[in-house]
């Protein structure tokens, strides 16, 4: 069994910063790609940022230059540093990881989501 637990969401003023964390735990053999997705009310879930096991990153155009994704492989944790936040960044942010366990060669796992609200 694998769990992804996110933390760090909250309310922030426009122009402010937040740092999200997502820790994976359970019967993990190895973790491949990790990423942060977000879903605003009435919209589809979209990719915000992703990072490979080797540290190669990919960002949506809407967050490029403002968000930084990183990971600590020793802690099975992925981070999202969000700077210069805008009201349109308001969404539920979900962590996703592709994980190899003893039973599953490669499966996609999701966190429960954390709310980020950017408002004055």
Please say if the pLDDT value at position 67 is more than 90.
yes
- Mean pLDDT score, 9-15: 97
Tell me how far the alpha carbon of residue 48 is from its chain's centroid. 8
- Cβ atoms of 61 and 55 within 8 Å: the answer is no
How far is CA 83 from each of CA 19, 87, 104, rounded to the nearest angstrom? 9, 12, 36
| pLDDT tier for residue 102 given thresholds of 50, 70 and 90 | confident
Query: How far apart are the C-alpha atoms of 40 and 93, rounded to whole Å?
Result: 9
pLDDT of residue 105: 83
- Cβ atoms of 79 and 69 within 8 Å: the answer is yes
| pLDDT tier for residue 65 given thresholds of 50, 70 and 90 | very high
């Amino acid at each position: 069994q694998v769990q992804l637990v996110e933390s760090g969401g909250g309310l922030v003023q426009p122009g402010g910063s937040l740092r999200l964390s997502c820790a994976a735990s359970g019967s993990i053999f190895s973790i491949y790609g990790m990423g942060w997705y977000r879903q605003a009310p009435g919209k589809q879930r979209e990719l915000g940022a992703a990072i490979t096991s080797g540290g190669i990153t990919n960002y949506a155009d809407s967050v490029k230059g403002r968000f930084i994704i990183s990971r600590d492989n020793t802690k099975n944790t992925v981070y999202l540093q969000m700077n210069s936040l805008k009201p349109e960044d308001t969404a539920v942010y979900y962590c996703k990881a592709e994980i190899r366990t003893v039973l599953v060669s490669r499966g996609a796992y999701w966190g429960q989501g954390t709310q980020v609200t950017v408002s004055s």
